[in-house]
Structure 1
């Protein structure tokens, strides 16, 4: 459930994230966003109380997208979801999520979070990703908060000693060095290690067309 006490803007952002997660395999991102923007504008124009607007919008958008998908004959199992977790969401989990998304695009839903995100994304990590042609403009640190962590197909833990309360069908651990404070040459080696692990995981999930640099 969406947390009722959340800021209304944050709650709409969560709804948007949910819709992309659930329907991104069937529709372009612009199509989902346009429908969301339309429904949000309509809801705000007529509502006297905003408390339940995100829930109402979520239901309306979900219903319409379901109808569109059915009418277009689009069906099938949901996309696999991979959740990458590290302590600060500054290095390893960012590398893994960015490389995975570059490799398979929207065929896998990719998320990264930190148990205690702080300090911003490691600039060395951003530099190495940019060297490899991996987009970084969309990247930001994220913590585990209600409704931003869904049940994932695989939860990948890196540098986390205990399994946190994160829903997932399978939990795996990757023994990958922390890039924090490392020279750029070492961060490049870590990125290679991450890419090798990502490739193996995607092979397991049946997403074998690996396109990373």
Structure 2
């Protein structure tokens, strides 16, 4: 089964419906639609568009049946050089604070070398899950706008439209002692909380 060509489709479906359905439910519907479409299509040029429309209709019907809507959540994208330290801290801290009410992502301009082990340690000290974290590169987008793109130690704005771009003056945890990484995480948490207030998402996530 082809996967890369559907990566953006998968991302958009999770962005729109992830607050209403388990991730595995979305993935299973998408994978089934991909398998069916690729088995029957004579021309596959527009399959990603066709598949996204089909799965969106299914999820929209299910959401409406529950009195919900597939309106996209606010999206915040954190960007640093390697997606190894600051952007991972920021995205993990925000996701923990807000639950699924904001779609949070992090990417790197040059994502190499693995996530900083001390960043993982500091997150785990705070009770923040880390098993799902991995380094990600930027996939240029034109089909939607992020609400906020936050640049951490980089000047280059990624190829993703945004309502606004912020630059946070946060130290790089690379090579720092553990206590300094804890201070960096504290500074990031302050910024995250301020941004969530601005987005109207500062209250505790629903349970």
When the two structures are superposed, what TM-score results if normalisation uses the length of structure 1? 0.86
Aligned partner of 2:130 among 136, 148, 162: 136
- Alignment pair present for 1:146 and 2:159: no
- Between 1:167-176 and 1:9-18, the stretch displaced more is 9-18
- Alignment pair present for 1:107 and 2:101: yes
Distance 1:210 1:187, change over 3 A: farther
Tell me the SS of whatever aligns to 1:143. Answer: coil
User: Could you report, residue by residue, the CA deviation over 1:31-60 in whole angstroms, capped at 9, with x for unpaired residues?
Assistant: 212211221232233235554433321111
- Alignment pair present for 1:175 and 2:193: no
- Between 1:28-37 and 1:130-139, the stretch displaced more is 28-37
Match in the other structure for 2:4: 10
CA distance in 2, matches of 1:103, 1:148: 28
Tell me the SS of whatever aligns to 2:99. Answer: helix
Aligned partner of 2:24 among 21, 30, 35: 30
Tell me the SS of whatever aligns to 1:112. Answer: strand
- Alignment pair present for 1:118 and 2:124: no
CA distance in 1, matches of 2:8, 2:194: 31
* Number of equivalent positions: 205
Q: Does structure 2 conserve the Cα–Cα contact (< 8 Å) formed by 1:79 and 1:107?
A: yes
Tell me the SS of whatever aligns to 2:169. Answer: coil
When the two structures are superposed, what TM-score results if normalisation uses the length of structure 2? 0.88
The unaligned stretches of length 5 or more in structure 2 are none
Root-mean-square deviation (Å): 2.3
